[in-house]
Structure 1
Amino acid sequence: MAGQTAGLIPVPFLALSEQMMNPLKELGKYGQAPWLDNLGRGLVRSGELAKLVNEEGIKGVTSNPAIFEKSMGHSDEYNEEIRSLLDAGVVEIGEVFNNLAFTDIRSACDVLKTVYDETKGGDGFVSMECNPYLANDTEATLTEARHLWKTIDRKNVMIKVPATDAGIPAIRTLLSEGINVNVTLLFATEYYRKVAEAYIAGLEGLPKDYDLSTVSSVASFFISRIDSKIDGALDKLIANGGDKAKLEALKGKVAIANAKLAYRDYEKIFSGPRWEKLAKRGARPQRLLWASTGTKNKAYPDTLYVDTLVGDNTVNTMPPATVAAERDHGKPTANAIKEDLKGAEKILRDLAAAGINLDEITDTLLVEGVDLFAVAADQLYGAIAGKCDELTGKKLRMTWSLGVDKEAVDGWVKTWTKKGYIRSLWAQDKTIWTNSDEDKWLGWLDAPTTAKANLAQLEAFSAKVKAEGWTDVVLLGMGGSSLGAEVLREVLAKNGTPKFHILDSTSPDEVGTLNAKLDPAKTLFIVASKSGSTLEPNLFKDFFYDRVVSTVGKDKAGSHFVAITDPGSSLEKDAKAEGFAAIFEGKKNIGGRYSVLSNFGLVPAAAMGIDLKAFVHNALAAEAACGPLSPPPTNPGAQLGIALGTLARAGKNKLTIFASKSLESFGAWAEQLIAESTGKHGKGIIPVDGEPAGSAASYGQDRTFVVLKLKGEEARDALVTALKPLGHPVIEIEVDEPMQLARLYYVFEIATAVAGAALQINPFDQPDVEAAKVKARALMEAGGAKDTDKPVFQGGGVSVYADAANAKTLAGAKSLEDVLKAHFKRVGRNDYVALVAFIERNAEHAAELDAMRAALRDATGAAVCLGFGPRFLHSTGQAYKGGPATGVFLQVTAAPVHDVAVPGRGYSFGAVVAAQAAGDLGVLVERGRRAVRVHLDNVDQGLATLRGAIEAAVK
C-alpha cells in the first residue's frame, strides 16, 4: 500500500497504558531479549521503532530480504532516495539496494544505541544479512561480511551468516576479526555445537589484549519451520495407517523439544575452564536466538514459540504479529526452556520410533532455508528493479504472446531463477554452457561500465573529429566491427556531419561506388579489426591508404587514419609505424559480435557526434537491469534469451524480426549476433531480418517473431495482431526514444548468451566461419576462383552451377525456371531458404532480391533469408554451415561492372570476392547442404531475369 509501512505493529496496540501488565516486557525480567523481526524506512522515520524500544522493551532488530522486499518494493517510502541514486548514476540493482538498506540499518542502529550503551554492548543490535547467494562460498561470504561491517560502520550491527558447511569457517574468521555475527539458519543441535565452537575459537583467535566484551554473537535457532515439516511427515504416516493418537501427540512438540536440548548444550558449552578463561577477558556467551517464532499452524496458540522458550540470556526475534500477540496475551514464565528436559528427549525418541529421522529433516531444512533466502533475494532485487523502471519512466517494454509455448518458457524461467544461472553467468561460470572456454569471452558484460570510465577519451576524439573539419568519415570493418556502427548511424546519426560511411564488402562495385564519393584529402578512415589480420579491413586499408598517399603524401597520410584493434595486433604495429592519428584498444575477452558497446562501437559513435554520455547512460541502465542480482522474472535479457532458447528447442527456431522505421537497421546487427553465436553443432536459431511482409497465413509454424518498436511508430501492427491467434510466439519490445538503442544492444547480447546456454552450445566461438576463409585463401593462392565445371544451365546471361550431388536434383531441367523449380521443390517443412548474393549491396539490388524472398516464402511457407557477401560470412554464414541442416541455398554471383585492383597485392577485389563466394559454396557443399550457384553476366539485368524465373517456378 503506497504511503504505508508494511508490517508495522498497530498504533492502538502501542498506545495501551503502560500501567497494564506487559508480557512482552516481562520477557526481559526472565533474561530474554525480545527482538523485532521487521525493518523498513517508515518504521524508523515514523518513530514507531523508538516507541517499541523505549516503551515496549524491544532490544534488537533483525532484517532479511523478504522484509526489505515488502518495504522497498511495495511502498513509496524509498522513492525519493531511489530517484536520487538513479540521478547520480547509481543504477546497479545491488548497489541501489545497499544504499537503501545501509541507511535503514544505520538509522535502526542509532535508535537502539541507547540499549547498546545501557547494556554495555550486551544488546541493542540490528542484523544485516550477507548476500544469501553466497551461503555456500566461504571466501565470498567473508568478503561480503567485511564490506557490510566496514560500510555500515556501527558497533551495534550484526552481520548475518548462515550455518552452512561453508558458513561456519567464515563465522569463526569474522569473529576472530572482532566482527559481530548473527549465525542464521540453525535447525540441528549438531550444527549448533559446531557454531558455538566456531564462536569460542573465533574469540580465542583475537589478540590477548583485545577487549572481548566488544564482540557479540547470537546463534539463530529456527523453530516453526521444524514443526511444519515434521507435522507434514506425521500427517503422511497417519494417512498410511499409523497410530493416529501417538502421532498426533507429537505435533507442535518437536521444535520446542529440539530447542530445549540445544539450550542444554548451550549451558554445557559456555561453562568450564576453556570458557571461563575467555569470560575473564570480558567474553559474553553466544546467546541462542529463537527465530521463526510466528506459528504457521493456526491450530497452535500464536504465542506458543515465545512462552515455551523463555530462558536466561536468550533472544526471541518475533514478527510484528507475534510481538502484538505476546504483548496482548502472552504468558511467559521464568526458565520455561529448562522445563521437562526428559520429556523433550522422549518426544525425539518417539519421533524416531515413528520412523522420522530428525537429522534428515534438519539437513533438508538447511538446504531449503538457503534456497528460500535466495528466492527472497530474487524477489527483493526484482522489486527494486521494477521500482527503478517505474521511477525512470523509460524502459524496454516487453509484451509476450507465447501461445502453447508459454508453459515451457515459464518453466525455464523458474528453473533459471531457482538455480541462479544469471548469477552464474556473471560469475563467468562456463559450466552453464559447454565448460570449454566461454569464461574467456565475457568482457562485454561490463562494457558499459568500462565505457563510462573512458568517456573523456571518447569525447575528446569526438571534439577533434569535429574541429578538424573532415567532410567524410569511413569505417573499414567487417561483421561485428561494422554492423553495430551501421545501426548507430541509421538510428542516431543518419543526417550527421561529417557524413559517415561504412565499407564491409569486397565487391569491387561497392568499393568503387564509395570511392567515387570521397575526397581523400578531407576524409578520415577508421580501420576496425580485432585481430588485425582480418582480410577485408586490411584490403580496404591498403586501397584507401594508397589513395590518401597519392593525394596528400606519405608523411601526412597516417593522420587520416585511426585504428581500433586489440593490443599487440598486426594492425596496431602498422598503425604505429605509419603514424595513425589514434589507436583505440579493443579487449581480448570481447568477441567481435559482442563489441558494439566497447570501442568498436563507441569510437565510430564518437566520430558521428552522437551524445556519448546519454548513450552510455542507457547502456549502464541495461547493464543494471540485466545484472547478476536481477532475476529472470525482471531481467529483460534473461527473459528474452530463455524464451528464444526454449522456443528454438521446441522447433520454432526461425527468429523473424519486424521493426518500426527508426529501428529497421537493428535487425542486421541482431541477425549476425544470434546466428553466429547459436548456429553450430547442428543446433541454432536462424534469424530472418528484413523479410518482406506477407499474410499471416504465409508463415510456417517454425517461426518466432520479435517486434521492435520505437514508441509512436508502427511495426506491421495489423500483421502482428493477426499472427497471435494462429499460435505464433510473438515478443514485442518497445523503447521510448532512439537513444535507448544502447539498451537494445545490451539486452540482445545477454539474451544471446542465455539462449546459447539453453541450447547447450558455446555462444562465443565460430567454428565454421574459418572453413570458408581457408578455402578462399587456397583459391587465391592457386590464382583465384575459376569456373572449370560445365554449368547445369546457361542462357539469357545466366549460368547455373552445382556440384555432382546437387546437380542430380536438377537433371533434365531445360530452362532457368525448370532449374529453380527443381531446386526449390526440395524445401520441406521447417526448412528455410537463404539467398546469398556476392554483389554490390544497394537499394535496387535489395529490392529485386526481396521480391524473390516474398515469392519463395508465399509459395513454400519457409523463412527466406538474404545475405550480401562477403559480410554475411561473418554473420549468418556460421549458422548456415554449422547450424541445423535445414537450409536450401541459392548463391548469386555476378561479373563486376568495374573491377578494382588492390594496391600492392597483385590481385583485384573482383578476384577476392569470387574466391570468397567459391569458398563459401564449397563449404556448404561439403556440409551436405542443398546449394546451387547462379552467375549473372550483367548484374542488373540478371537479377530481373532471376526474379522472373523464381516467380514463375514457384507459382
Structure 2
Amino acid sequence: MNDVPGSSVAVTASGAAADAIDAHLSALVEQKFASRLFDQDHTLWGPAAEDESAKRLSWVGLARSSRPLVGEIAAIRDELSSAGLDHVVLCGMGGSSLAPEVICATAGVPLTVLDSSQPDMVRAAVSDRLDRTVVVVSSKSGSTVETDSQRRVYEKAFTDAGIDPKDRFVVVTDPGSPLDEEARTAGYRVVNADPQVGGRYSALTAFGLVPSGLAGADVEALLDQAEAITDVLAADDEANPALRLGAALGGTSPLRNKVLLIDAGTSAVGFGDWAEQLIAESTGKDGTGLLPVVVGDAPAGELLDDELRVSLLPEDTEDAVAGEAAVGVSGSLGAQILLWEAATAVAGRLLGINPFDQPDVESAKKAARELLDGGASGGDAPAFTDGAVEVRALGGDWLGEASTVAEAVRALIGQLPEHGYLAVMAYLDRIADSALADVRVAFARATGRPVTFGWGPRFLHSTGQYHKGGAPEGVYLQITTTPHEDLAVPGRDFTLGDFIAAQAGGDAQVLAEHDRPVLRLHLTDHDDGLAQVMQVVGGLDGEEVRS
C-alpha cells in the first residue's frame, strides 16, 4: 500500500510535548501497547474500563472490515441519482455527523448536516430542495431524540408533498436496534454499522461512509489511506506516530490540558471540529482530561503554561515544529482519522481514564428529558431583564449587583480561576447565526484565557462531556433564543422549541450541580437580543476584563 496517496503521517514535537514523548514512549513500546490495541486487548485501560472497552474496539480494523460498504454505497447512490435525488441531508448527532461533515468538506462535495433541534434551522433545511432530497438518518439505537425528531419532521414534509418517504430515506443504525426494526418495517433502505464501535470512533464505519459516499466523496480512497498506515500504528516501535502523538497529548507534566488545534494548512477541512469531539468526549472525565480549543489560525501571544499547541499541517510535511509546547501533525484525512483515534486511546491510558464512555453526556440527556416531561420553560425567573435579553445565573451566588448584560458577562469572567477557560454555548441556528462564533476571539483577548465556542445541542455530544467531567476550571456562557417560529414534532407531545429549551436547561442544571458558574442569556427577541449581545462582546474586544 506504499503507493497510496497520503499513505504516511508525520508527528513532530518540541518543548514540553517532546519531553512527554521522551518520558512515556519507551514504556508504551515495552508494554506493547500498540500491538495490543490493534489486537483489541480490552484490558489496556484498567479493570473499570474493561466492560465498555470490550465492545468498543472494532474501529482498529475498519480500514479493512468496512470494504464491503464501498459497493453497497455505490449501488444506492446510482439508484438515487437515476431518480434525480442529488441533495443529501444527514440527520445525526455527534460522531454520526461530524466525520461526514469533514469528509465531504475535504472532498469538496455538498452535504447538508442537520445536527440541531433549533426550530428555525430545521425548518430551513426541510424547505431546501425537498423534491431532490434524500435523507440519511444516522443513529446507533434510534433513541437519539434530536435525530428521531428530525426524521419525523422530514417524514411529514415528504408526505405533505405527495412523496413516499420510503423512497427518500437511508437509515444507518446498529443491527437489531429499535430503529433498525422500525425502518425495515417501514420499507426504508437500511445499512447496518459495526455495533462494536462507539460513535466518536465511527468515522470509517457506515456512519461516516454512507452519507459521505452518497454525497459523492471517494470513500474507498479514505479506506485506502487508513489501511496504508494500519500496520505502522500497530507496531511496537518508537517511531509509531500514534504512540508519539498520544504521549504528547496525555503525557505532559504538569498536564497541559488545553489543546489548541490550529489549521496550519491542512487539507482536511474542519478537522479540528471532529478531533474536538474525539478528544473531549473520550478524555474529559474523572476530574481530568484534555479540552480541545479549535482556534483556526495560530493565536497571537505567548503560549500559556497549561496550553499545548497542535498544528495541523499540509500532507507530506515533515518539518519540525518549534515552541515551548508544540506538536505538528500531517497526513491525509483517512490516515489522520485512524492516527488520532489511536493516539486518543494512548492518551486515555496515560490519563488513567476510560476513553470509551461518556457518563456526563448521559446525565445532561437525563436532565433534559426530565425538564421536557415536566414542561420545558426558561427555568426560574430571570435575575433581571436588560432590553431583549433575560439574564439568569446558576452555580453559585456570583452575579453580585450586576443589572446589565455587560455587567453580568464581566461578573462571569471574574469567576475564572488561574487555569480556567470560558465556554460559550449558543443554542441558535449555526447556519443563519454563524457570525456569532467570532465572539470566541474577542472573549479570548478580554480574558487572556482559552475560550471555546460550541453550537447547542451539537456540543453536548462533544465538549459537553469535558465541561462536567473534566477539571473544574470552566465558566460557562449559555445563549438561548426564542425561535422566529416553533415547529411541532409529529407524533410527539412537544415542539422543537420545547425540546431545545429542555436541552439548554438540562445542561445548565447539571453544570450548576457540579458547581460550575453558568450565565444564561435568553434572547426574548432573536434579532434584537443577538444584536445586543454582539454589541456587549464588541465592547470587550481588546479590553483586559479578567483581573
**TM-score category (smaller protein):** over 0.9
Partner Cα distance (1:423, 1:546) in 2: 50
Give 1:853 shift: 1.7
Partner Cα distance (2:43, 2:145) in 1: 34
Counterpart of 2:230 in structure 1 is 623
Give 1:906 shift: 2.5
Q: Does 1:584 align with 2:201?
A: no
2:314 to 695, 698, 710: 710
Give 1:744 shift: 1.2
SS in structure 1 of the partner of residue 329 of structure 2: strand
Partner Cα distance (2:5, 2:482) in 1: 54
Give 1:397 shift: 4.4
Partner Cα distance (2:379, 2:18) in 1: 51
Q: Does 1:638 align with 2:243?
A: yes
Partner Cα distance (2:231, 2:357) in 1: 26
Counterpart of 1:734 in structure 2 is 330
Is the CA contact (8 Å cut-off) linking 2:266 and 2:312 kept in structure 1?
A: no
Counterpart of 2:522 in structure 1 is 935
Is the CA contact (8 Å cut-off) linking 1:483 and 1:668 kept in structure 2?
A: yes
Is the CA contact (8 Å cut-off) linking 1:692 and 1:854 kept in structure 2?
A: no
Partner Cα distance (1:516, 1:392) in 2: 41
Give 1:702 shift: 1.1
Is the CA contact (8 Å cut-off) linking 2:409 and 2:519 kept in structure 1?
A: no
C-alpha distance 489-446 of structure 1, shift in aligned 2 (>3 A): same
Partner Cα distance (2:24, 2:529) in 1: 49
Q: Does 1:830 align with 2:422?
A: no
Give 1:622 shift: 2.6
SS in structure 2 of the partner of residue 810 of structure 1: coil
AA in 2 matched with 1:492:
A
Q: Does 1:482 align with 2:97?
A: yes
What are the superposed Cα offsets for residues 826-864 of structure 1, whole Å, 9 maximum, x if unpaired?
A: 21322111000111102x6333332x2222212322110
Give 1:691 shift: 5.4
C-alpha distance 552-623 of structure 1, shift in aligned 2 (>3 A): farther
Give 1:625 shift: 2.2
SS in structure 2 of the partner of residue 890 of structure 1: strand
Counterpart of 1:753 in structure 2 is 345
1:411 to 14, 23, 46: 23
Partner Cα distance (2:77, 2:339) in 1: 26
Partner Cα distance (1:493, 1:451) in 2: 22
Partner Cα distance (1:871, 1:622) in 2: 31
Partner Cα distance (1:599, 1:848) in 2: 33
Is the CA contact (8 Å cut-off) linking 1:479 and 1:592 kept in structure 2?
A: yes
Is the CA contact (8 Å cut-off) linking 1:700 and 1:830 kept in structure 2?
A: no
C-alpha distance 451-795 of structure 1, shift in aligned 2 (>3 A): same
How do 1:73-222 residues align onto structure 2 when only pairs under 5 Å count?
86=1
SS in structure 2 of the partner of residue 638 of structure 1: helix
AA in 2 matched with 1:882:
G
Partner Cα distance (1:626, 1:775) in 2: 40
Is the CA contact (8 Å cut-off) linking 2:262 and 2:309 kept in structure 1?
A: yes
2:383 to 788, 792, 814: 792
Partner Cα distance (1:644, 1:458) in 2: 35
Q: Does 1:700 align with 2:311?
A: no
Counterpart of 1:665 in structure 2 is 270
Q: Where does structure 2 lack aligned partners over 5 or more consecutive residues?
A: none
AA in 2 matched with 1:567:
P
Q: Does 1:516 align with 2:127?
A: yes
Counterpart of 2:393 in structure 1 is 802
Counterpart of 2:453 in structure 1 is 866
SS in structure 1 of the partner of residue 238 of structure 2: helix
Give the TM-score normalised by the residue count of structure 2. Answer: 0.93
What are the superposed Cα offsets for residues 247-296 of structure 1, whole Å, 9 maximum, x if unpaired?
A: xxxxxxxxxxxxxxxxxxxxxxxxxxxxxxxxxxxxxxxxxxxxxxxxxx
Counterpart of 1:845 in structure 2 is 433
Counterpart of 2:284 in structure 1 is 679
AA in 2 matched with 1:563:
V
1:463 to 78, 89, 92: 78
The structure number with the bigger radius of gyration is 1
SS in structure 2 of the partner of residue 552 of structure 1: coil
Which stretch has the larger CA shift, 469-478 or 422-431?
422-431
Partner Cα distance (2:327, 2:84) in 1: 44
Identity %: 35
What are the superposed Cα offsets for residues 396-437 of structure 1, whole Å, 9 maximum, x if unpaired?
A: 443523214423321201111112111222233333212232
How do 1:286-301 residues align onto structure 2 when only pairs under 5 Å count?
none
C-alpha distance 847-712 of structure 1, shift in aligned 2 (>3 A): farther
Q: Does 1:603 align with 2:210?
A: yes
Partner Cα distance (2:19, 2:391) in 1: 47
Give 1:692 shift: 6.4
SS in structure 2 of the partner of residue 921 of structure 1: helix
Partner Cα distance (1:563, 1:413) in 2: 42
Is the CA contact (8 Å cut-off) linking 1:836 and 1:891 kept in structure 2?
A: yes
Give 1:392 shift: 6.2
Partner Cα distance (2:83, 2:216) in 1: 13
Partner Cα distance (1:586, 1:797) in 2: 46
Is the CA contact (8 Å cut-off) linking 2:38 and 2:61 kept in structure 1?
A: no
Is the CA contact (8 Å cut-off) linking 1:821 and 1:950 kept in structure 2?
A: no
Q: Does 1:566 align with 2:154?
A: no
SS in structure 2 of the partner of residue 944 of structure 1: helix
Larger RCO (CA within 8 A; separation ≥ 6): 2
SS in structure 2 of the partner of residue 482 of structure 1: helix
Partner Cα distance (2:350, 2:524) in 1: 46
Is the CA contact (8 Å cut-off) linking 2:475 and 2:518 kept in structure 1?
A: yes
Counterpart of 2:404 in structure 1 is 815
Q: Does 1:909 align with 2:496?
A: yes
Counterpart of 1:884 in structure 2 is 471
Q: Does 1:744 align with 2:336?
A: yes
Partner Cα distance (2:105, 2:315) in 1: 17
C-alpha distance 891-393 of structure 1, shift in aligned 2 (>3 A): closer
Partner Cα distance (1:551, 1:516) in 2: 11
What are the superposed Cα offsets for residues 29-73 of structure 1, whole Å, 9 maximum, x if unpaired?
A: xxxxxxxxxxxxxxxxxxxxxxxxxxxxxxxxxxxxxxxxxxxxx
Give 1:477 shift: 0.6
Is the CA contact (8 Å cut-off) linking 1:487 and 1:666 kept in structure 2?
A: yes
1:529 to 139, 151, 160: 139
Partner Cα distance (1:905, 1:730) in 2: 50
Partner Cα distance (1:809, 1:690) in 2: 29
Q: Where does structure 1 lack aligned partners over 5 or more consecutive residues?
A: 1-85, 87-387
AA in 2 matched with 1:451:
S
SS in structure 2 of the partner of residue 517 of structure 1: coil
1:654 to 258, 274, 294: 258
How do 1:130-529 residues align onto structure 2 when only pairs under 5 Å count?
394-435=6-47, 436-437=50-51, 438-494=53-109, 499-519=110-130, 521-529=131-139
Partner Cα distance (1:559, 1:465) in 2: 9
Give 1:907 shift: 2.0
Counterpart of 2:360 in structure 1 is 768
Partner Cα distance (1:394, 1:512) in 2: 39
Is the CA contact (8 Å cut-off) linking 2:16 and 2:326 kept in structure 1?
A: no
Counterpart of 1:76 in structure 2 is none
Give the TM-score normalised by the residue count of structure 1. Answer: 0.54
Give 1:552 shift: 2.6
SS in structure 2 of the partner of residue 657 of structure 1: strand
Partner Cα distance (2:311, 2:137) in 1: 33
Q: Would you tell me which structure has more helix in proportion to its own residues?
A: 1
Give 1:464 shift: 2.3
Which stretch has the larger CA shift, 610-619 or 773-782?
610-619
